[in-house]
A and B are shown apart, each in its own frame.
Chain A
Amino acid sequence: MTLVADRPEPGTARPYSFPSVIRTEAAGGLVVAAHLPGQLLATASLLLDAGAAREATDREGTASILAKALEEGTQKRDSAQFALALERLGAELTTSVDWDAFRVGVSVPVDLLPGAVELLAEAARTPKLDPSDVLRVRDDEVTALRMEWAQPGPRADAALRADLFGAGERYGRPLHGDPTSTAAVTADDVVEFHRSWLGRPGVLLVAGDLDRLDLKVLAEAAFGGTSGDPLPVDPPLTLALRDARRTILVDRPGSVQSTLRLGHRAPHRAHPDYVPITLAATVLGGAFTSRLNHLIREVKGYTYGIRGDFAMTRRFGRFGVSAAVQTAVTGPALADTVGEITRTRLDGVTEAELEVARRWRAGQLSVDMQTPGAIVGALATLVIHGLPDDYYATLRRQLLDATVADVSAAAAAHLHPGSLTMVIEGDAALIRDDLTALNLAPITDAAP
């Protein structure tokens, strides 16, 4: 065996570039496109200001039902005909609902994109929404949510969200609703949501070989028959932190692991500290070698994986840590987790850790943006948060330039271990005494 002992030095880096972004106003709407020469696939996504935040109280899940009901037939063809028309192009409709937006998208070989966008628009703009179909979709969605809520995680996520944002507030309720709120949605709610929020042009995002695509043709398909001005953007929520830690226990009898969901509120996406916050979170829990994963997986063996991050939307953010740990070590794993968050707040980050974080985040801007789907996702971020077309190049530079002082200051300012809500979903009978003995926070039980 003769291995080379010396680690090689890097070669010369090619300059970073994000694909050129083209903005075209056409047919009453805006197309934001990225040119990917030679790419065989193309992706289009219609971005509508119709996120879950637009849902009525106690009707959470309306937008998610609508997303599925779009494929239950259009004013032109029934559901089977629609499925066949779309799938014979090799396309499937991807819909998503998040706090900021409602998206309908397709990915196909580039020459098939015009036909796929026509069908996408037919479903998004002129769905049939027959009441009996909508109610069937709703019932299926309730059943699907019950399936999902039988897994570990959703109940803990809901308990954390309710505690951070208020059980009576839309942002304190699950993004896609829960089985109860979804069961309460009526056919009228869904039709009304569509009428209120899906009739404006929105923005069409396109990534692909633009030499083979006519953006005007795509715009006409996407924006035909629409009207209305863009909606005003509401300001960020006031950031409220708890003055003490608390533990919420969600019972899951027989569970062989405990699901940990720790969190507190945090700034919104457009906050000026976005870059140092992201880097602090990377050092704490974002990379494989992060403090949390290193201690709790690689040293202690308590878990298959643990991560911490800041999730940030247009109006709010939240810091969160999630993991599934073996039942018997729930207490020690929780104590170690809080310990690492506290250490990061108090002592900041080291240059060695930060160097990994900044180079990783910067490198991901190339490595993670190879596909038209990923590029469309990046375009959506530009549009939703009002960022300039050269944003990714700027972001890359800011990531690489961030100093230990910047990132440590962000950790001190935005990590609040004393304000954590700590939700533990597991076999309460087996873990309650350990959690009590830990004495990290008073324990309350979540409603079953």
Chain B
Amino acid sequence: MVTSTSTPVETGYPWPIETTRLNNGLRVVVSEDRSAPVVCVNLWYDVGSRHEPEGQTGFAHLFEHLMFEGSVHVQKTEHMRLVQGNGGSLNATTNPDRTNYFETMPSEHLELAIWLEADRMGGLVPALTQETLDNQREVVKNERRQRYDNVPYGDAWLRLLPLLYPPGHPYHHATIGSMEDLNAAGLETFRAFHRQYYAPNNAVLTVVGDTSAAEVFALADKYFGALEPVPDIPPAPNGHLTGPAEHPARQTVTGKVPAPRIYLSHRTHPFGSAGYDTVTVLATVLGSGRGSRLYQRLADGARIAQPDYVGAYGVDLAHAPAPLIITATAKDGVDAATLEAGLAEVVDGLATEPVTEAELERAKALLTTSWWRQLSTVGGRADTLGRYATQFGDPASAGYRLPGWQAVTAGDIADVAAQTLQPSSRVTLTYLPGDHS
């Protein structure tokens, strides 16, 4: 006998959350959990590639690199040495919406982590040198080569964004940016970028794990409290779009790829909205797991798609309608037109062929497991709270996401599919094997 999986949950965040705001505007979020002697310190800065003006693409991401290269009281490479050398793990990421920095440490080093984060928030500019800038520009160029240029299909995301979002839209360009823009800018431009955005009133500090709110609030005040806020931080360009695209767009790339591959993509709803909850469940019904429609119909049924390479996922962007990306790769002997027709039929069917209770239950169960997996580390919890505090003003709103997914109905999915997944608004990106022409 199998236990039912669709028991509704009250909240997706059953741990305590306490918040405060320093006088300089820094928001501080704490979630205590004493079950392991570890603590995560996470900073969300409300700056991403959507803030970059024309001619400065790639700046937000390059800055993520520069933040590891020393600040007034921390020598070049010392940041990494102090975190790893005290048993911690760290990283940072940049996307169109934001830049985040995080380290998980044995809890006796909490104060060190907070000191390091404060020093690079308030003291990066005086330490930034031409040598460091030049070195990290080269590292980023190698990152671009390794991730996008030297791998088959690696540039799909770079190609999809300008097809999905019009010129001038904050999501039109990819976060990795233009190497020409990075080359053209001087040290002073980068210093100005940091002064503008790396401010206490533009950040959320989240600490999760083996500590208390009182301890964290006191440490935040001690190390960040004296930093000056930056008045009038300019907002990113407005991401508002009036509904789905009015025309389909299509691009075909012929090159060194081992098999034809199709990406279909649509703008849907912003992350955090009820509409996007529906998109998340829809994407799982469509493309997650062997029970998904794409797997069952294209990989297992018609056998035109390679089983390891079918999928559908939303990209969780909050400041404009976020993309849903659907992809399949042709099996040997199957041409791109056949694959595209098969893929389109399954996607179009979401509006006309109601999702069954079994499909819905399956999708919600998979999403439930993935939610708890994300929250099974202090790092996953800290990033989640930082996201909800930054994007929706309240870390506790993280608790609504899982119930939001569980509330999605088959009717919601059909409605969202009919509204946002029409062929008339579809972006189709096709890769074909062959010589560059």
Q: Which of B47-55, B134-142, B264-272, B417-425 contacts A (4 or more CB under 8 A)?
A: B134-142
Q: How far is the CB of A101 from chain B (nearest CB, A)?
A: 22
A192 proximity list for chain B (CB < 8 A): none
Q: Does B257 contact A (CB under 8 A)?
A: yes
CB within 8 Å of B: which A175-225 residues:
none
Q: Which one of A37, A140, A366 contacts B106 once the chains associate, using CB atoms below 8 Å? A: A366
Q: Which residue of B lies closest to A153 (CB)?
A: B151
Measured in the bound complex, the distance between the Cα atoms of B33 and A37 in whole Å is 12
B377 proximity list for chain A (CB < 8 A): 370-371
Known: A89-B5, A92-B289. A147 touches B37 (CB 8 A): no
Measured in the bound complex, the distance between the Cα atoms of B38 and A87 in whole Å is 32
B149 proximity list for chain A (CB < 8 A): 256
Known: A4-B118, A39-B376. A256 touches B259 (CB 8 A): no
What string of 1s and 0s marks CB contacts (under 8 Å) between A271-311 and chain B? 00000000000000001110000100111111110000000
Q: Does B250 contact A (CB under 8 A)?
A: no
Q: Does B275 contact A (CB under 8 A)?
A: no
Whether B122 pairs with A3 at a CB distance below 8 angstroms is yes
Q: Which of A103-111, A233-241, A386-394, A405-413 contacts B (4 or more CB under 8 A)?
A: A103-111
Q: Which residue of A lies closest to B228 (CB)?
A: A1
Q: Which residue of A lies closest to B368 (CB)?
A: A90
Q: Does B307 contact A (CB under 8 A)?
A: yes
Known: A3-B226, A147-B259. A87 touches B86 (CB 8 A): no
Measured in the bound complex, the distance between the Cα atoms of B375 and A107 in whole Å is 14
Q: How far is the CB of B138 from chain A (nearest CB, A)?
A: 3
Q: How far is the CB of B257 from chain A (nearest CB, A)?
A: 7
Whether B81 pairs with A111 at a CB distance below 8 angstroms is no
Measured in the bound complex, the distance between the Cα atoms of B361 and A85 in whole Å is 11
Q: Which one of B142, B223, B376 contacts A370 once the chains associate, using CB atoms below 8 Å? A: B376
Whether A366 pairs with B85 at a CB distance below 8 angstroms is no
B332 proximity list for chain A (CB < 8 A): 139, 143
Which of A71, A80, A151, A289 has the most B CB atoms < 10 Å from its CB?
A289
Whether A87 pairs with B362 at a CB distance below 8 angstroms is yes
B142 proximity list for chain A (CB < 8 A): 257, 301-304, 324-326
Whether B88 pairs with A363 at a CB distance below 8 angstroms is yes
Whether A147 pairs with B366 at a CB distance below 8 angstroms is no
Measured in the bound complex, the distance between the Cα atoms of B65 and A297 in whole Å is 12
Known: A298-B77, A356-B81. A1 touches B122 (CB 8 A): yes
Known: A8-B111, A91-B369, A366-B37. A298 touches B85 (CB 8 A): no
Q: Does A20 contact B (CB under 8 A)?
A: no
Q: How far is the CB of A240 from chain B (nearest CB, A)?
A: 33
Known: A41-B373, A257-B145, A301-B134. A294 touches B112 (CB 8 A): no
Q: Which one of A12, A115, A152 contacts B150 once the chains associate, using CB atoms below 8 Å? A: A152
B236 proximity list for chain A (CB < 8 A): none
Q: Does B109 contact A (CB under 8 A)?
A: yes
Q: Which one of A87, A256, A324, A363 contacts B291 once the chains associate, using CB atoms below 8 Å? A: A87
Whether A289 pairs with B80 at a CB distance below 8 angstroms is yes
Q: How far is the CB of A235 from chain B (nearest CB, A)?
A: 35
Whether B123 pairs with A304 at a CB distance below 8 angstroms is no
What string of 1s and 0s marks CB contacts (under 8 Å) between B289-323 and chain A? 11100011000100100111100000000000000
What string of 1s and 0s marks CB contacts (under 8 Å) between B1-45 and chain A? 111010000000000000000000000000000011110000000
Whether A370 pairs with B36 at a CB distance below 8 angstroms is yes
Q: Does A359 contact B (CB under 8 A)?
A: yes
Measured in the bound complex, the distance between the Cα atoms of B308 and A139 in whole Å is 12
Q: Which residue of A lies closest to B109 (CB)?
A: A10
Measured in the bound complex, the distance between the Cα atoms of B77 and A299 in whole Å is 10
B308 proximity list for chain A (CB < 8 A): 140, 144, 147
B367 proximity list for chain A (CB < 8 A): 90
Q: Does A171 contact B (CB under 8 A)?
A: no
Whether A364 pairs with B150 at a CB distance below 8 angstroms is no
CB within 8 Å of B: which A149-171 residues:
150-152
CB within 8 Å of A: which B53-94 residues:
72-73, 76-77, 80-82, 84-89
Known: A4-B115, A302-B142, A366-B106. A90 touches B87 (CB 8 A): no
Q: Which residue of A lies closest to B80 (CB)?
A: A288
A4 proximity list for chain B (CB < 8 A): 73, 115, 118, 222-223
Known: A87-B291, A90-B368. A152 touches B151 (CB 8 A): yes
Whether A87 pairs with B290 at a CB distance below 8 angstroms is yes
Q: How far is the CB of B218 from chain A (nearest CB, A)?
A: 12
What string of 1s and 0s marks CB contacts (under 8 Å) between B387-415 and chain A? 00000000000000000000000000000
Q: Does A232 contact B (CB under 8 A)?
A: no
B331 proximity list for chain A (CB < 8 A): 140, 143
Q: Which one of A37, A152, A363 contacts B35 once the chains associate, using CB atoms below 8 Å? A: A37
Sort A-B residue pairs by CB-CB distance and give the 5 closest, nearest first.
Answer: A363-B87, A301-B138, A356-B85, A90-B365, A90-B369
* 18 A-B pairs with C-beta separation under 8 A: A1-B122, A3-B122, A3-B123, A11-B107, A14-B108, A41-B373, A41-B376, A83-B290, A87-B366, A88-B362, A90-B368, A91-B369, A147-B309, A256-B145, A256-B150, A304-B143, A366-B37, A367-B89
User: Which B residues fall within an 8 A CB radius of A?
Assistant: 1-3, 5, 35-38, 72-73, 76-77, 80-82, 84-89, 104-112, 115, 118-119, 122-123, 134-139, 141-143, 145-147, 149-152, 210, 222-223, 226-228, 256-259, 289-291, 295-296, 300, 303, 306-309, 329, 331-332, 358, 361-362, 365-369, 372-373, 375-378
